[in-house]
């Protein structure tokens, strides 16, 4: 019985692009959800977004990457200067990245950002998609972050600290709709290929 339930659960997951994170989430992101990935510009946040968007094959075949913050890379959609009200109509596929929600908050205000997350949530549910928003930590009012976190279905937090001469990086999974959450932060490394998570969880 439990095995059958596990199969159903995994069928309703979508890979995060990171094997270790998929294991921590029992198969990946629940389909039909919006996810906030919070962190800084130097702890691999953009690398994680790219890995989710491109997937294991390394080519973005089933989604879109909406770039607001910088020169868009190959296959990305340039939305610099575009009103956020137009974003939902530009979303397509089952893996959508918005880089970044911070730019929407700073340029258009928190209410516009909350409206965008809600519209993205409706898109995700209708299409069984996942919409990943990047949010840069430490630049927004705490009350604005709380409102954003309450609106999204999942919250990931990439943390980086320096211990002596070593850099320690850990990912926290603080919210994920319908899932039991890990009790500990999950260590990760930044490699030439992207992020790699360390996990002792086994596939059953």
- pLDDT above 80 for 6: no
Residue 58 lies in a domain: yes
Alpha helices in the chain (DSSP H): 2-11, 19-24, 45-54, 87-90, 101-108, 110-127, 142-151
**Domain ranges, residue 52:** 2-184
Give the CA count within 13 Å in the CB-facing half-sphere of 92: 6
> How many folded domains does the chain comprise?
1
- What do you get for the CA distance between the two ends of the chain, in Å? 14
Q: Would you say residue 81 lies in a domain?
A: yes
CB atoms within 10 A of CB 201: 13
Residue 156 lies in a domain: yes
Cα separation, 29 vs 37, whole angstroms: 12
From 117-126, 136-145, 183-192, the region with the lowest mean pLDDT: 183-192
The pLDDT tens digits of the residues spanning 83-96 come to 999 999 999 999 99
**What was the pLDDT predicted at 4?**
44
pLDDT of 125 > 70? The answer is yes
pLDDT at 20 over 70: yes
For residues 95 and 15, is the Cβ–Cβ distance under 8 A? no
Q: How confident is the model at residue 58 (pLDDT cuts 50, 70, 90)?
A: low
pLDDT computed for residue 193 by the predictor: 86
- Predicted local confidence at residue 164, as pLDDT: 87
Neighbours of 166 (CB within 10 A): 7
pTM of the prediction?
Answer: 0.91
The span from the CA of 140 to the CA of 186, in Å, is 25
**pLDDT of 59 higher than 70:** no
Q: What is the pLDDT of residue 56?
A: 66
Q: What percent of the chain has pLDDT over 70?
A: 90
pLDDT at 118 > cutoff 90 = yes
Angle at 43 between CA 142 and CA 128, to 5 degrees: 75
Give domain status of residue 53, yes or no. Answer: yes
CA distance 140 to 28: 28
Q: Which residues contact 103 (CB under 8 A, 6 or more apart)?
A: 68, 69
CATH of the domain at 122: 3.40.50.300
Span 7-22, average pLDDT:
83
Decide if 117 is inside a domain: yes
Q: Give 185's DSSP letter.
A: P
Residue 80 lies in a domain: yes
Whether 44 is in a domain gets the answer: yes
Q: What is the mean pLDDT of residues 132-157?
A: 97
Residue 157 inside a domain? The answer is: yes
Answer yes or no: is pLDDT of 183 > 90: no
């Amino acid at each position: 019985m439990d095995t059958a339930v596990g199969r159903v659960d995994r069928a309703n997951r979508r890979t995060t692009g990171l094997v270790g994170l998929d294991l921590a989430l029992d198969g990946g992101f629940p389909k039909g959800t919006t996810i906030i990935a919070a962190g800084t510009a130097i702890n691999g946040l953009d690398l994680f977004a790219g890995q989710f968007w491109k997937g294991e094959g390394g080519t973005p075949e089933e989604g879109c990457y909406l770039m607001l913050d910088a020169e868009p890379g190959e296959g990305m959609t340039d939305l610099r200067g575009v009103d956020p009200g137009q974003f939902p109509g530009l979303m397509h596929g089952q893996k959508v990245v918005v880089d970044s929600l911070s730019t929407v908050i700073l340029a258009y205000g928190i209410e516009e950002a909350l409206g965008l997350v809600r519209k993205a949530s409706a898109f995700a549910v209708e299409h069984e998609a996942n919409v990943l928003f990047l949010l840069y930590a430490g630049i927004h009012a705490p009350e604005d972050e709380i409102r954003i976190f309450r609106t999204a279905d999942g919250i990931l937090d990439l943390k980086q600290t320096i211990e002596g001469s070593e850099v320690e990086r850990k990912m926290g999974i603080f919210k994920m709709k319908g899932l039991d959450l890990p009790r500990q932060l999950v260590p990760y490394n930044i490699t030439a290929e992207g992020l790699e998570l360390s996990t002792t969880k086994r596939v059953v």
